[in-house]
Amino acid sequence: MIKAIVFDLDHCLMSPHELGAHALAPVVRAVTEANAGRLSEGVLRSAFADFMRAPFDRVALKHGFPEDVSAAARTAFAQLAVPRTLRGYADLPVLARLPVRRYLVTTGFLLFQQRKIDALGIGPLFAGVYIDAIDRPARTSKKAIFAEILASQGHVMDEVLVVGDSAESEIAAGNELGLATVQILREGVVRTGDAKHHIEDLAELEALLGGA
Ligand SMILES: [Mg+2]
């Protein structure tokens, strides 16, 4: 019997593309200026595309950002604006109907993630909102946050589902803790065999709970 679900945010409840094509313009500008021609234009283009798909620290590592370029990007990311309202994926209203305790765990820059959650208006639907903040010194990990939720809320392993898109992030963290994992196959998400279940949308999650 599933009593609690831990959700991811980006590519799970909302598409980062909803922020608009120019949402990351201040980051692109800051990186391009700080880079001063060291990384090629091709590498930068690829990195900018990856910003929409993965947390900043992974992208910076993958593309070999020099330390000062990373620093400039972090400063820009930490101040990014978000539209006043966001609607999330079209099935987002299903979230409120799920007969479970809901938790939100998201990785990213603290203020940027918080602004997206606020713009979606979904904060009150969760028993807890946890930001694995790239720009805060006391950062732990999604795995540590999941473990903390279980311990502090008194959930046992087999009553908790983890729902998200990323094989490397929440699916791996959930598996390491022995939790059942559900990969949500939003547009652009690469299917992983590591998840126990796969769903196309939140309506399928509702069905999965009903049949579980
Ligand atoms: Mg995600």
Q: List the chain domain ranges.
A: 4-16+84-211, 24-78
Instruction: Compute the distance from residue 9 Cα to the ligand 1 centre, in Å.
Output: 6
> Which tens digit of pLDDT belongs to each residue from 112-125?
999 999 999 999 99
Instruction: Compute the distance from residue 32 Cα to the ligand 1 centre, in Å.
Output: 26
Q: How many whole angstroms separate alpha carbon 211 and alpha carbon 209?
A: 5
- Mean of pLDDT over the chain: 96
Instruction: Compute the distance from residue 104 Cα to the ligand 1 centre, in Å.
Output: 11
Instruction: Compute the distance from residue 57 Cα to the ligand 1 centre, in Å.
Output: 14
Instruction: Compute the distance from residue 52 Cα to the ligand 1 centre, in Å.
Output: 10
Please report, rounded to a whole number, the percentage of residues in the chain having pLDDT higher than 90: 93
> Which tens digit of pLDDT belongs to each residue from 183-198?
999 999 999 999 999 9
Single out the residue of 195, 141, 170 nearest to residue 9, CA to CA. 170
- 4-16+84-211 CATH fold: Rossmann fold (3.40.50)
> Which tens digit of pLDDT belongs to each residue from 12-65?
999 999 998 899 999 999 999 999 999 999 999 999 999 988 889 999 999 999
Instruction: Compute the distance from residue 163 Cα to the ligand 1 centre, in Å.
Output: 9
Instruction: Compute the distance from residue 37 Cα to the ligand 1 centre, in Å.
Output: 31
3 state SS of 99: coil
For the chain, the residue count is 212
